[in-house]
Chains A and B, each alone.
Chain A
Amino acid sequence: MDFTLPEELLIFRDTLRKFVEKELEPISEQVEEEDHIPDRIVEKMKDLGLFGLAIPSEHGGYGMSVLGQCVAMEELSRTNACFRTRIGTNNGIGSMGIVIAGTEEQKRKYLPRLASGAMTGAFALTEPNAGSDASAIRTTAVRKGDKYILNGTKHFITNGDIAGLSTVMALTDRPKGTKGISAFLVEEGFPGFSVGKIERKMGFRGSHTCELLFDDCEVPAENLLGREGEGFRIAMQVLDKGRLMMGACALGAIERLIELSTTFAKTRVTFGEPIINRQAIQWMLVNMAIDAYAVRNAVYHAAWKLDRGERVTKEAAMVKVLATETACRAADSAVQIHGGMGYMKGMAVERFYRDLRLLRIYEGTSEILRMIVAREMSR
């Protein structure tokens, strides 16, 4: 088995490592304070090609392998989570529906702009009463001539406030349950579409999570994605890869937490000795390293399978559970190793501790993912 990464990936990884260290990490706390990523940073992300990692090259992106996307997300996750979230929707849930199910016309119209970052994508499934249980959504879409009329409210929509295009799930045939869900491409500025409240959150500052409001929102019929009733199936396909990416994000964070904790433990002296000489601290660090090793192999292996065209519903779910639960444990250990300092604002481990908590919830809670794995095992 050859675990060597292709040369171009090694070069890109070096670029991202430098970019994170030189440009992102130094403003990480500023972004945390201001809850906003400076425009000049977004411009640099565009220049680096970060918005088009996953979009095929014939539509203006770079068509990176899933493994390549994992490596990129891993590197970008070594700092404030808002940065990788800024590019995350365009590479995942905000564009993949079009890649999978879009018409040539839809692809030509939207993908190049999503790939360049000129347009930000979002994905709107979750509603106040429907998240894990997608069949409970209430937003409706009714065909009227050459338009669909959408009514309802979406919430917790990542990048919703800056999105030029949202993939919105709405019911076209309620009695059919999930088979009655259809996906629509909704541009900002469509009549009857507006952004509602921007939520205040535990973490992920610098990345906004919003309400999207549809009040007799008019969507041209050609903006139906796939056929009527295919929305849920499209959403599930989009989410498989998304879960794998979450694993890569968790991995990058774990690696960073290990580095931060090791550096701290080497310099923090108690009772006349650096705490890294204490077995209690060593074991926490060692367990983090063992976990990181397992997570890395699981993430890369699942990515390799997906790149071979295999179905990875089960692996992606397992990887996300493993990686995100491990990351939360690692963050807990990192705060513990840092002691009181780890509880202070301005310390990276404090931020990781809050940010990583979300990873066990969004893009499939650990519980839903275990259900998926159970279902796959009993097939």
Chain B
Amino acid sequence: MKILVTLKPVPNPDEKVKVREDGKGIVRENIKTVVNPFCEIAVEEGLRIREAHGGEVVVLTVGPRESDQQLRTALAMGADRGILVEAAGDLDSLAVAKVIAKVAAEEKPDLVLNGKQAVDDDNNQVGQILAALLSWPQATFVSKLEPDMGCRKAKATREVDGGLETIEVPLPAVITADLRLNEPRYASLPGIMKAKKKEVKLVPVASLGVDTKPKVRVLSLTPPRQRSGGRKVADVAELVSLLSNEAKIL
């Protein structure tokens, strides 16, 4: 089974991000870049499927040259080879999905695994758009995946509001990984040493012949409101009165 896993480099979610002065992005300096946690889960799932069924795991990222480190991390976890589509600046979901579709058309994987969304902009779109572009079936928010290569299909359990839904999709398909799909392994030192010898193909985005002009423009970013301190009230009556008159939520 050939599995294509996509990785999005995101600002480290444990660090405090600041909105740029022009209000159209965040300050990237001194913020570490890490693999989007949901993409890490997708990598792990790809590796587990390969370990059970054989095959190849190819990891793909779209971003600046420095994204090599995120690809190498996935290779150190055990992925077989990497593809880095070099693109400067922020691409919107449609552009990224088009790039992935182009690579998928060339690589012809049985499965494309994405994280369900990236923790930076929480758009939750790439997997869905990609499936549409490829005209492949999709299973999103997957918490359990059972591929059956013989019958060329996969059973996917999806986390939906208030419960679980199990569906079956024919392969090839696009799967997006939810939090509970698995616990990703570490990039171990033996893995890191092996990854040094693995191939990462550099592909300039222009060479793909894909229109990556953004269709979405960020007008402004606003940081969350600063939390103000709590307040003690004397009794329930005062609380109710404050909630209805001041906070206006009752």
A48 near B189 with CB under 8 A, answer yes
Q: Is the CB of A11 within 8 A of B72?
A: yes
B193 & A62 in contact (Cβ 8 Å cutoff): yes
Contacts of A14 in B (CB 8 A): 34, 73, 187
Measured between beta carbons, the chain A residues less than 8 angstroms from B34 are 14
Q: Are B192 and A12 in contact (CB-based, < 8 A)?
A: yes
B187 partner residues in chain A, CB cutoff 8 A: 11-12, 14-15
0/1 string, A9-26, CB within 8 A of B gives 1: 011101100110000000
Most chain A CB inside 10 Å of its own CB: which residue of B72, B189, B196: B189
Q: Which residues of A1-38 are within 8 A (CB) of B?
A: 7-8, 10-12, 14-15, 18-19
Residues of A within 8 A of B193 (CB): 8, 57, 62
A48:B76 contact, CB within 8 angstroms: no
Q: A53: which of B72, B76, B189, B196 is its contact (CB, 8 Å)?
A: B189
Judging by beta carbons under 8 Å apart, are B190 and A8 in contact? no
A44 to chain B, nearest CB (A): 8
B44 within 8 A of A: no
Interface assignment of A220: CB less than 8 Å from any CB of chain B? no
Inter-chain CA distance A204–B133, complex, in Å, is 59
- Closest residue of B by beta carbon distance from A44: B186
B69 pairs with A49, CB closer than 8 A: no
B188 within 8 A of A: yes
Q: How far is the CA of A308 from the CA of B193 in the complex (A)?
A: 21
Q: Judging by beta carbons under 8 Å apart, are B68 and A49 in contact?
A: no
Q: Which chain A residue lies CB-closest to B187? A: A15
Name the B residues within 8 Å of A81 (CB-CB): none
Least distance between B78 CB and chain A CB atoms (Å) = 12
30-78 of chain A: CB within 8 A of chain B: 47-50, 52-53, 57, 62, 64
Which secondary structure dominates chain A's binding surface? helix
Instruction: Classify the interface of chain B: helix, strand, loop or mixed.
Output: helix
Chain B residues bordering chain A, tally (CB within 8 A): 15
* Docked complex Cα distance between A49 and B186 (Å): 11
A47 nearest in chain B by CB position: B188
Q: Which residues of A contact B186 (CB under 8 A)?
A: 15, 18-19, 47-48
Question: Is A7's CB under 8 angstroms from B72's CB?
Answer: yes
Interface size on A, residues (CB 8 A): 18
A15 to B69, CA, bound (A): 13
Complex CA gap A50/B191 in Å reads 12
Contact A15 B188, beta carbon cutoff 8 Å: yes
- Asked if A50 and B189 make an inter-chain contact with CB atoms under 8 angstroms apart, the answer reads yes
* Chain B residues with CB under 8 A of A18: 186
Residues of B within 8 A of A57 (CB): 193
- Least CB distance, A21 to chain B, in whole angstroms: 9
- Which chain B residue lies CB-closest to A57? B193
Chain A residue numbers with a CB within 8 Å of B188 are: 15, 47-49
B69 and A12 form a contact (CB under 8 A) = no
Q: Whole-angstrom distance between the alpha carbons of A159 and B221 in the complex?
A: 55
Assembled-state Cα–Cα distance A7/B33 (Å): 13
B158-202 interface mask toward A, CB cutoff 8 Å, 1 = contact, 0 = none?
000000000000000000000000000011111011011000000
Nearest Cβ in chain B — how far from A114, in angstroms?
Answer: 15
CB pair A12–B189 under 8 Å, yes or no, is yes
Closest approach, in angstroms, between the C-beta of A55 and any C-beta of chain B?
Answer: 11
Select one of B69, B189, B195, B196 contacting A10, CB under 8 A: B69
Q: Complex Cα distance A263/B73, Å?
A: 30
Contacts of A49 in B (CB 8 A): 188-190
Please judge, given known A-B contacts A8-B196, A11-B76, A14-B34, whether A62 and B69 are in contact too, CB under 8 Å.
no
Residues in B with CB closer than 8 Å to A47 are 186, 188
B72 proximity list for chain A (CB < 8 A): 7-8, 11
CA distance A155 to B195 in the complex (A): 43
Closest B residue to A10 using CB positions: B69
Among A11, A19, A47, max chain B CB count under 10 A is at A11
A49→B73 CA distance, assembly (Å): 15
Query: Please, which residues of chain B bring their CB within 8 A of the CB of A53?
Result: 189
Q: How far is the CA of A49 from the CA of B196 in the complex (A)?
A: 16
Q: How far is the CA of A235 from the CA of B224 in the complex (A)?
A: 58
Closest partner residue, chain B, to A63 (CB atom): B193
Residues from chain A with Cβ under 8 Å of B195 in the complex? 8, 11
Nearest CB of chain A from residue B182's CB, rounded to whole Å: 15
Given A11-B195, A15-B189, 5 other A-B residues pairs in contact with their CB atoms under 8 A = A8-B72, A11-B76, A15-B186, A19-B186, A48-B188
A-B CB contact pairs (8 Å), 13 listed: A10-B69, A11-B73, A11-B76, A12-B192, A14-B34, A14-B187, A15-B186, A18-B186, A53-B189, A62-B189, A62-B190, A62-B193, A64-B189
